[in-house]
C-alpha cells in the first residue's frame, strides 16, 4: 500500500466512523461543537495511523528501527490539518444559526 492509498483509506474510514458516531449521538443543534470535535479527533487519528502504516510498509523503516519516529511523524502530519479543518466545520453551523435564525427571533 502506498502513501496516497493509505491516506485515502484513512480519510474514508475516519469519515465513516465520524458519521456513525454523529448518528449514534443523535446530535441536536446545541451539540454541533461536540460533534465536530468527535469527528475531528476520530478522523485525524485514524487518518494518521493509516498514513503511518503506509509509510512503514512502503519504506520498510521497521527494519531500520525508526518505526516509532515515523508513526509520530505520520500522526502529526495528518492530524494537525484535519484538526483545524474540523474546527472550521464545527463552527460553521453556529455562524449559520447566528445569521439566519437569531435575527428573526
For residue range 11-57, list pLDDT tens digits in order: 666 666 666 666 666 555 556 666 666 666 666 666 666 666 666 65
Output phi, psi for 24, to 5 deg: -70, -35
Range of the domain at 95: 3-21+31-104
Across 68-86, average pLDDT: 56
Across 98-102, average pLDDT: 56
Q: CA–CA separation, 104 vs 72, rounded Å?
A: 48
Would residue 77 count as lying in a domain?
A: yes
Of all residues in the chain, what percent carry a pLDDT higher than 90?
A: 0
Largest CA distance in the chain: 64
pTM above 0.75, yes or no: no
CB atoms < 10 A from the CB of 104, how many?
A: 5
Would residue 26 count as lying in a domain?
A: no
Would residue 35 count as lying in a domain?
A: yes
- The total number of structural domains in the chain stands at 1
Would residue 40 count as lying in a domain?
A: yes
Residue 10's pLDDT band, with cuts at 50, 70 and 90, is low
Would residue 36 count as lying in a domain?
A: yes
Amino acid at each position: 500500500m502506498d502513501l496516497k492509498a493509505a491516506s485515502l483509506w484513512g480519510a474514508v474510514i475516519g469519515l465513516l466512523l465520524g458519521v456513525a458516531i454523529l448518528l449514534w449521538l443523535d446530535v441536536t443543534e446545541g451539540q454541533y461543537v461536540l460533534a465536530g470535535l468527535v469527528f475531528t479527533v476520530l478522523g485525524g487519528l485514524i487518518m494518521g495511523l493509516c498514513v503511518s502504516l503506509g509509510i512503514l510498509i512502503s519504506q520498510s523503516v521497521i527494519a531500520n528501527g525508526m518505526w516509532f519516529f515515523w508513526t509520530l511523524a505520520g500522526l502529526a502530519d495528518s492530524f494537525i490539518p484535519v484538526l483545524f479543518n474540523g474546527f472550521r466545520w464545527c463552527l460553521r453551523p453556529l455562524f449559520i444559526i447566528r445569521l439566519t435564525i437569531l435575527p428573526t427571533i
